[in-house]
C-alpha cells in the first residue's frame, strides 16, 4: 500500500456512534484468543463460559486475563473462590464452546449442556475440559473494574490470574516444542459470530532483530 496515496477514510468518534451496520471495534482488533473459562462458586456450582476479550499479559509470573462485559457468573465465582481454569478452544470443540455461551441458571452446568467432561484440577478446586488439548489452572491476582477517560466506571471487569499448573496433550509437542497450530485453535474475528481457525499452513516465522 502506498502511504502517499490519499485514502478514502471512514472516520468516527466512538462516543458519537460509528455510523455503520455493525460496530467495527471488535472486528478490527482481531483475531483474539478465546478465554474459555471454567470456575466454581462456594456452593460447588460449576460454570464454563467463553470470553472474546482474553490474552496473556506477563511471563514471570505467567499471568492471563479476560474481561467480562457486565458482572457475570465467571467473575462472581472467581471473586468468591479466587481460582479458575482456562481451556483452549479448538476447531474440533467449536460447537461445544459455542454451546457454553448460553445464558442459564447458576446451578446449571455448561459442561453438561455441551456434553463435555469435567476433570478435577490438580492444584485448584475447579475442573478443566478433558477434551481440550491445553488447560491452565489459575489463581486470582486481581479483578479490576474498567473505566473511561472521564473516570466513569464501565460495566466491564478485567479478571487476572497467575497460571499455577499447565496441562498439555503430548500429541501437541514435537521435539520438545509446543506446536501452536497443531491443536487448530479458533479465535474470535468480530461481529456476532465470526471466527478464524489457526492452521499450520497459515503460520510464518520472522526472526526478531535483537
pLDDT digit string (tens) for the chain, length 210 residues: 566 677 899 989 999 999 998 888 888 887 899 999 999 999 999 999 999 999 999 999 999 999 999 999 999 999 999 999 999 999 999 999 999 999 998 889 999 999 999 999 999 999 999 999 999 999 999 999 999 999 999 999 999 999 999 999 999 999 999 999 999 999 998 777 889 898 888 888 899 898
Q: Is the peptide bond before 31 cis (omega within 30 degrees of 0)?
A: yes
CATH code for the domain in which residue 40 is found? 2.30.110.10
Asked if the structure places residue 174 within a domain, the reply is yes
Asked if the structure places residue 163 within a domain, the reply is yes
CA–CA separation, 16 vs 22, rounded Å? Answer: 14
Please report the pLDDT score of residue 28 as a whole number.
83
User: What's the predicted TM-score (pTM) here?
Assistant: 0.91
Please report the pLDDT score of residue 22 as a whole number.
86
Asked if the structure places residue 6 within a domain, the reply is no
Asked if the structure places residue 83 within a domain, the reply is yes
Q: Is the peptide bond before 139 cis (omega within 30 degrees of 0)?
A: no
Amino acid at each position: 500500500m502506498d502511504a502517499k496515496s490519499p485514502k478514502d477514510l471512514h472516520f468516527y468518534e466512538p462516543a458519537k456512534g460509528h455510523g455503520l451496520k455493525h460496530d467495527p471495534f471488535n472486528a478490527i482488533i482481531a483475531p483474539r484468543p478465546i478465554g474459555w473459562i471454567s470456575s466454581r462458586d462456594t456452593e460447588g456450582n460449576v460454570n464454563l463460559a467463553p470470553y472474546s476479550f482474553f490474552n496473556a499479559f506477563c511471563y514471570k509470573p505467567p499471568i492471563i486475563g479476560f474481561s467480562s462485559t457486565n458482572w457475570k457468573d465467571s467473575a462472581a465465582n472467581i471473586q468468591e473462590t479466587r481460582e479458575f481454569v482456562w481451556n483452549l478452544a479448538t476447531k474440533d470443540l467449536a460447537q461445544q464452546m459455542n454451546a457454553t455461551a448460553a445464558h442459564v441458571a447458576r446451578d446449571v452446568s455448561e459442561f453438561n449442556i455441551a456434553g463435555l467432561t469435567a476433570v478435577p484440577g490438580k492444584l485448584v478446586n475447579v475442573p478443566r475440559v478433558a477434551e481440550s488439548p491445553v488447560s491452565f489452572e489459575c489463581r486470582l491476582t486481581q479483578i479490576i473494574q474498567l473505566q473511561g477517560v472521564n473516570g466513569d466506571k464501565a460495566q466491564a471487569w478485567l479478571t487476572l490470574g497467575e497460571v499455577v499448573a499447565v496441562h498439555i496433550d503430548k500429541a501437541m509437542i514435537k521435539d520438545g516444542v509446543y506446536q501452536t497450530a497443531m491443536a487448530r485453535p479458533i479465535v474470535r474475528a468480530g461481529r456476532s459470530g465470526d471466527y478464524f481457525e489457526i492452521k499450520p499452513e497459515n503460520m510464518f516465522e520472522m526472526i526478531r532483530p535483537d
